[in-house]
Structure 1
Amino acid sequence: MNAVNGGEDLLRRLAPQVLAALVRHHGNFETAEDAVQEALLAAATQWPVDGMPDNPTAWLITVASRRMTDQLRSELASRQREQKVASLTLPDEPLAPAPDEERLRDEDDTLILLFLCCHPSLTPPSQIALTLRAVGGLTTAEIARAFLTPEPTMAQRLSRARARIRAAGARFEMPPRHERADRLRVVLHVLYLMFNEGYTATSGPELHRADLTAEAIRLTRIVHRALPRDGEVAGLLALMLLIDARRPARTRPDGSLVPLAEQDRSRWNRESVDEGRDLITRTLSSARLGPYQLQAAIAALHGEAARAEDTDWPQIVELYQLLADLAPNPMVTLSHAVAVAMVQGPKAGLTLLEPLDADERLSGHHRLHAVRAHLLEMAGDHEAARASYRWAARLTTSLPEQHYLHGRAARLTPDRP
């Protein structure tokens, strides 16, 4: 896909549009997704040779529709249902909307597809996995890493989720009003996970996957335009903008990680910072408080500080306490511990970390040991900090994070005579 300029990003962005067109036309989610994946593979191999078509969306829809029709014909033929096979013909015109309607139609389709993937017949983990696959364009391997499960297990989960949606008779339309709030929460969580995977890739040689962060922001903007008064939708969008604004300063020319406290804040994307701050400021004054809004408010305080030492840590501690009360989570505790350490000292932060050793969700996660190492270093216990940095490096599969953690440990190694 990289052989075409921006090809991978383009195919990731077009995939949900193509899938939505096929599901609306044929009504078979499982077969439609398989056909879309075949069309994307065809594009990745043909476009670098033949050139990108004038209308990539129509090209993908046509190819995917042909693959899907062939598959349905084959299935029906095997059941000796020739009469229905004869009715399965390709449309004379592309399924893509007219150019002047395309953007609005695409946004509507994407929103409906997001809700479809979060169908109530699925378990929450399956809802998240299917949305990441069908709308976010993550591979099965990437989703498996995010869930800390083997790839074959995730492939089976995705297959079962598609089959369950088909068995439930789900239609390609917005869910009933009484279901929307619960399904919206899942949609926002999925977009949050997608953004996090892009901002700090769980594995591989690159720290960032800008295609994923951009896609998460794009999809969240779509949801925000559809639900402009929802505080948590606005809060999530503001959070993404404020965090992504740091990306230019987060790595050195060699790709190594630069922690927040050491970043050159003049390199932050001020346009994104300003947009995120304005959005969360308006939202906090008009909407019911929620976890994404609190996280965005914390990110806004970091964005307001011209230097790390100017950060309003006491206010951040208060916001983390509110967040811990509203949505207790081990990752929140980690960040809360760092904030407390900046105000009350590293020992107070280390005390907050102690219960996490017994939390199965985090006890084996590298971030717990990395945060502990940082606080131990602040406390002057270099030997314990070095051991924690090294242990954290063993647990992460991200090469930039490994290098950073090994580097921190090396700085604390006493000079040998």
Structure 2
Amino acid sequence: MQSIPTTFIHIDLGQRSYPIALGSGVIAMLGTSLSLPVGTAAVIVSNATVAPLYVSRLIASISATYSQIQTVVLPDGEAHKNWATLNLIFDALLRQGCDRKTVLYALGGGVIGDMTGFAAACYMRGVPFVQVPTTLLAQVDSSVGGKTAINHPLGKNMIGAFYQPQLVVCDLDTLDTLPARELAAGLAEVIKYGPIADMELFAWLEAHMDALVARERGALAHVVKRSCEIKAAVVGADEREAGLRAILNFGHTFGHAIEAGMGYGVWLHGEGVAAGMVMAAHLSQRLGLVDGSFVERLTRLIERAGLPTRGPVLDAQDNAGRYLELMRVDKKAEGGEIRFVLIDGPGKAVMRAAPDALVREVIDQCCAS
């Protein structure tokens, strides 16, 4: 397997700035080549799937830095991204007498990263944390930028905080153990960067999708690095999603409705985003922002990644109505009006509303029958 040298990407947020370390075997570099947050103790938060694979490796790497290291192992899956599971982290921190000199390490995918970051934001009103993402989706998206949250039965990621990590560690070796479905889900978040910001990346993905699906290390390194660079630029310009950062949610308004409507965990986040991007592209076309050839090009690329291009039926009686109901519980909605991230010409995104009747037509067109 090709070894990728470590590179660094800087997230420029003034006093909250931090590096992303990307390469092969980066976890083993912690505490030696990489500077870690100062603290007396560390708590590693992981899940039942990832912990047996990587906890011992992480402990060995940071053991010289912290006098005490504890591990909290949570159940795996989006279905557990809730208050009950979050409280398991707080229970452990309180039982162990953790103070503000405790550093949390999020070892896992997006669910672990989101919950650990939210716990770090809340515990004693803020303790430092480090993201160690082990999925492609987390490495290219959710671990970067400081969005932390849990789900509510009525809406995804509706309870959370903006809270930046002090370091993000993207070890490409962890992608070797990623199930094929999870790899594909991560590719959805990679694909989204093309239509909203970088059509050169989009063309590169069209030429190299087979290599990505085959887990060629050089190809994976390229897309993780480029995705992080794009997200770093956007987050640096708009940390708290006052405007520009919302473009990173391309496909997510539809996708979050799918996740909530199906029950969290039935569809993976990236699968919902994939079908959501197709819907958003069709809506963009109907509004005259892109042509049909672009929509077809995006749909083909998503399909080649092994991702769904049609949304599920959430309600047999009024499917579009159910989608609209769920999409109104969205952080981008304003006064009950749904605002979509649309493609205003390839490589450029725009936030705007659309008539319900038009959205209904798109949903009817793009959902499985």
Q: TM-score by structure 1 length?
A: 0.31
Higher helix share: 1
Which has more radius of gyration? 1
Which fold has the larger relative contact order, with Cα–Cα distance below 8 Å and residues 6 or more apart in sequence? 2
Q: TM-score, normalised by structure 2?
A: 0.33
